[in-house]
């Protein structure tokens, strides 16, 4: 209402009133001067609807009663003035208490350019309509009830066989939510007799409370919604309540029932899903356990792959000497038990191979053999390595870690170099061995473990105990069944078999043709003292395969080392070792003949070349000057 179009209403202020009809009307009425944006008069009904006293309304700006709607107010009053009468639902006056009113505004033109607004409360109108419907139903009364009851009785009679045979609970409710029939399965599940439920509010009887214990209003119930909106409702996350006050999880379908197009109720089919929920819960627990074990299995898998790579060329304990046969007998004796085994012996004598043989012959062979090199575990990580740790237990512990004891559960734990465990940490190991349980670092939960222990050391643990460097109680706990790994120098008769086995394996791993192992090579290997035992022999054989030329193995053993070790070692070897090796000592003439034949063969292979790369001296593995001297001694003439 533009200021320029406004006119003073002083000449019209003399209106004395708008009559008895205006004053007594039950509908709210306002007389407006649209040009001045002013309420000229208001009746009592308008005062009650708008929440303002009449004397406050009179003189108030019409746009104040319709805040934020001045453009719509202008458009509507102009339409009324143009048509004489008009109505709208877009104007929403504000009650004196601040709430927005939903009204229908009907505008009528009055003399002197005034406009009469009649306001109809739409909420009140809707309530009157509901009341009329209720009144109609009440007048229908008994006949309507009897008709609905007859419908459900017909449903129950026509489907009696199905209702009795069905494993699901089935019941019907009319449009008021009152139970009309209940089948036997529903009686069993709910603990109610059908006679006690028919005629009652079913929701109040069995569906009154949510699973969390809070009240379940009728208006929110999907069962009742079916005969309000005519749609089928399926629910799978609620509970029904038994007569004894206990609840059980259900899934149900509420299907509306129509008679001549009118919704008259619903049929509900439900089933008890307790067992399925329990199965789901067990599955969730199983999945959680799978997740918790995943890291362990991954670690075991990675560990086993590493062990397979490291030990794939060990196909068993090689040898036929009395010492090896004695070890095999000891393995057979102890493998069937869970006794702790202590394997002692020099470095490189095959202690780990003995531990693996014990594991493979035991009932635990289906579980892993977990190896720990005690000498390689830092002091500060000892507990974490052996027992594992919980996430956040120390700086850098970003996730839970499974320890070696837990990895070996059900299997065998091999503690290599057990003598290297620091004295102050030996007590922690002893406790686990005694109690068969442990706690991860940073975790209070005690975990039981079933582990068979095999320990190995190259130290004299008795002497270590005497010197105070090893706990006596731990030594006695480990030394239940001792096995001593015999040094290679004390069983020379096994050297040819071991060397040939390693030669075949090394050639296969390196992808080269397998060189020959000659009698001369065997003699050199037997004469050598092998301070590094089988591990050193393996290295020498592999290096010889790499250096091999024209199918001839080249053993990198200096003559000085062989000869130096020969007198003392020969004296130390038992007579049966030399005899059982299968090599009869040759006479001087035989030895010289053999030596001469090998030199001739080498010269032929090298086209008479003695010195330099590819020469006979390099092929035989001796110094060129030594070869030249032997050529002269044997009277060999170069071609």
Structure tokens at 388: 């594992």
Q: Quote the mean pLDDT of the chain.
A: 81
- What is the CATH class of 587-639? mainly alpha
CA–CA separation, 492 and 575 (whole Å): 11
* pLDDT band, very low/low/confident/very high, at 155 (cuts 50, 70, 90): low
Higher pLDDT, 286 or 483: 483
pLDDT at 448 over 90: no
CB contact set of 74 (below 8 Å; sequence gap of 6+):
1, 34
> Quick one: average pLDDT of 253-263?
83
Secondary structure E strands in 330-404: 341-344, 369-373, 388-389, 401-402
Highest mean pLDDT among 105-119, 166-180, 296-310, 311-325: 105-119
Query: Tens digit of pLDDT for each residue in 531-559?
Result: 889 988 999 999 999 888 888 888 877 54
Q: Which class for 408: exposed (0-12), middle (13-18), buried (19 or more C-beta within 10 A)?
A: buried
With tokens 């390099």, the residue in question is 618
> Quick one: average pLDDT of 287-306?
71
Domain topology for 313-486: Rossmann fold (3.40.50)
Query: Tens digit of pLDDT for each residue in 259-279?
Result: 777 888 888 889 898 888 888
> Quick one: average pLDDT of 205-215?
87
Check residue 468 and give its pLDDT. Answer: 93
* pLDDT band, very low/low/confident/very high, at 570 (cuts 50, 70, 90): very low
> Quick one: average pLDDT of 296-315?
58
Do the domains at 3-126 and 587-639 have one common CATH topology? no
CA end-to-end distance (rounded Å), the chain: 133
> Quick one: average pLDDT of 6-22?
54
Check residue 15 and give its pLDDT. Answer: 40
CA–CA separation, 288 and 293 (whole Å): 9
Query: Tens digit of pLDDT for each residue in 608-638?
Result: 888 887 788 877 777 777 788 788 778 887 6
> Quick one: average pLDDT of 278-295?
81
The CATH number of 159-272, from 3.40.50.1000, 3.10.50.30, 3.30.450.20, 3.20.180.10, is 3.30.450.20
pLDDT at 213 over 60: yes
> Quick one: average pLDDT of 285-307?
72
* pLDDT band, very low/low/confident/very high, at 494 (cuts 50, 70, 90): very high
pLDDT at 561 over 70: no
Number of CB atoms found within 10 A of residue 276's CB: 12
Give the bridge partners for 452, in sequence order: 412
> Quick one: average pLDDT of 42-49?
93
> Quick one: average pLDDT of 385-390?
82
> Quick one: average pLDDT of 302-325?
66
Residue 126 phi/psi, 5-degree rounding, is -65, -40
pLDDT at 420 over 50: yes
Q: Residue 444 belongs to what H/E stretch?
A: none
Residue 483 phi/psi, 5-degree rounding, is -130, 130
* pLDDT band, very low/low/confident/very high, at 165 (cuts 50, 70, 90): very low
Q: Report CA 559 to chain centroid distance, whole Å.
A: 62
Check residue 108 and give its pLDDT. Answer: 94
Higher pLDDT, 442 or 350: 350
pLDDT exceeding 90 applies to what percent of the chain?
31
User: What is the architecture, at CATH level 2, of domain 3-126?
Assistant: 2-Layer Sandwich (3.30)
Highest mean pLDDT among 406-410, 580-584, 592-596: 406-410
> Quick one: average pLDDT of 473-494?
93
**Helix, strand, coil percentages for the chain (3-state, nearest 5):** 50, 20, 30
Check residue 559 and give its pLDDT. Answer: 45
Residue 21 phi/psi, 5-degree rounding, is -65, -45
> Quick one: average pLDDT of 28-47?
93
* pLDDT band, very low/low/confident/very high, at 181 (cuts 50, 70, 90): confident
* pLDDT band, very low/low/confident/very high, at 14 (cuts 50, 70, 90): very low
Q: Contact, 30 vs 116, CB < 8 A?
A: yes
CA–CA separation, 186 and 182 (whole Å): 6
> Quick one: average pLDDT of 481-506?
92
Letter string b/e over residues 381-400, b meaning 16 or more CB atoms within 10 A of that residue's CB: ebbbbbbbbbeebeeeeeeb
Check residue 218 and give its pLDDT. Answer: 83
Parse the chain into domains and list their residue ranges.
3-126, 159-272, 313-486, 587-639
pLDDT at 152 over 60: no
* pLDDT band, very low/low/confident/very high, at 380 (cuts 50, 70, 90): confident
CA–CA separation, 533 and 521 (whole Å): 17
Tell me 361's DSSP state.
T
Check residue 117 and give its pLDDT. Answer: 94
Rg value, the chain, Cα = 52
pLDDT at 158 over 60: no
Query: Tens digit of pLDDT for each residue in 363-373?
Result: 998 888 999 98
Check residue 605 and give its pLDDT. Answer: 78
* Angle of CA points 166, 170, 175, to nearest 5°: 155
């Amino acid at each position: 209402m533009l200021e320029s179009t406004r006119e003073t209403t002083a000449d019209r202020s003399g209106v004395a009133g708008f009559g008895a009809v205006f004053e007594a009307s039950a509908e709210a009425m306002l007389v407006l001067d649209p040009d001045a944006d002013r309420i000229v008069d208001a009746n009592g009904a308008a005062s009650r609807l708008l929440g303002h006293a009449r004397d406050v309304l009179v003189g108030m700006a019409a746009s104040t009663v319709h805040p934020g709607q001045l453009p719509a107010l202008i458009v509507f009053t102009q339409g009324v003035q143009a048509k004489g009468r008009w109505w709208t639902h877009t104007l929403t006056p504000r009650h004196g208490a601040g709430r927005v009113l939903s009204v229908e505004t009907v505008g009528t033109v009055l003399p002197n350019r005034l406009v009469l607004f009649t306001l109809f409360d739409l909420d009140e109108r809707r309530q009157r309509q509901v009341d009329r419907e209720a009144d109609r139903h009440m007048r229908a009364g008994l006949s309507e009830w009897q008709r609905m009851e007859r419908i459900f009785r017909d449903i129950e009679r026509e489907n009696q066989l199905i209702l009795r045979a069905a494993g699901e609970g089935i019941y019907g409710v009319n449009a008021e939510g009152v139970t009309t029939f209940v089948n036997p399965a529903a009686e069993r599940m709910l603990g109610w007799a059908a006679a006690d439920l028919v005629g009652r509010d079913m929701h109040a009887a069995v569906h009154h409370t949510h699973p969390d214990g809070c009240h379940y209003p009728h208006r929110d119930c999907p069962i009742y919604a079916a005969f309000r909106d005519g749609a089928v409702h399926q629910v799978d996350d609620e509970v029904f309540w038994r007569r004894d006050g206990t609840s059980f999880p259900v899934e149900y379908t509420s299907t509306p029932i129509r008679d001549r197009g009118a919704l008259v109720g619903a049929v509900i089919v439900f089933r008890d899903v307790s067992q399925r929920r329990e199965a789901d819960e067990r599955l969730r627990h199983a999945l959680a356990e799978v997740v918790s074990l995943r890291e362990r299995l991954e670690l075991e898998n990675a560990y086993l792959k590493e062990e397979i790579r490291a030990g794939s060329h060990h196909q068993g304990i090689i040898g036929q000497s009395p010492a090896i046969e004695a070890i095999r007998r000891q393995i057979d004796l102890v493998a069937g038990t869970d006794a702790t085994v202590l394997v002692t012996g020099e470095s490189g004598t095959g202690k780990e191979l003995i531990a693996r043989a014990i594991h493979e012959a035991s009932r635990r062979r289906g579980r892993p053999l977990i190896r720990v090199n005690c000498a390689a575990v830092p002091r500060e990580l000892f507990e974490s390595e052996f027992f594992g740790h919980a996430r956040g237990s120390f700086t850098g512990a970003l996730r839970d870690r499974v320890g070696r004891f837990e990895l070996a559960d059900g299997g065998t734990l091999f503690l290599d170099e057990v003598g290297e465990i620091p004295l102050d940490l030996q007590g922690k190991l002893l406790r686990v061995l005694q109690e068969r349980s442990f706690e991860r670092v940073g975790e209070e939960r005690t975990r039981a473990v079933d582990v068979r222990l095999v320990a190995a050391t190259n130290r004299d643990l008795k002497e270590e105990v005497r010197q105070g460097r090893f706990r006596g109680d731990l030594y006695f706990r480990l030394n239940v069944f001792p096995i001593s790994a015999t040094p290679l120098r004390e069983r020379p008769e096994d050297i040819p078999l071991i060397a040939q086995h390693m030669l075949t394996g090394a050639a296969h791993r390196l992808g080269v043709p397998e060189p020959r192992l000659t009698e001369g090579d065997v003699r050199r290997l037997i004469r050598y003292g092998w301070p590094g035992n089988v591990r050193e022999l393996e290295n020498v054989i592999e290096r010889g395969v790499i250096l091999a030329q024209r199918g001839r193995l080249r053993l990198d053993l200096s003559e000085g080392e062989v000869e130096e070790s020969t007198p003392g070692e020969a004296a130390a070897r038992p007579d049966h070792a030399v005899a059982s090796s299968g090599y009869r000592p040759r006479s001087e003439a035989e030895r010289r003949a053999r030596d001469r034949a090998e030199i001739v063969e080498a010269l032929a292979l090298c086209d008479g070349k003695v010195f330099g790369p590819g020469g006979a001296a390099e092929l035989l593995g001796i110094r060129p000057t030594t070869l030249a001297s032997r050529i002269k001694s044997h009277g060999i003439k170069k071609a």
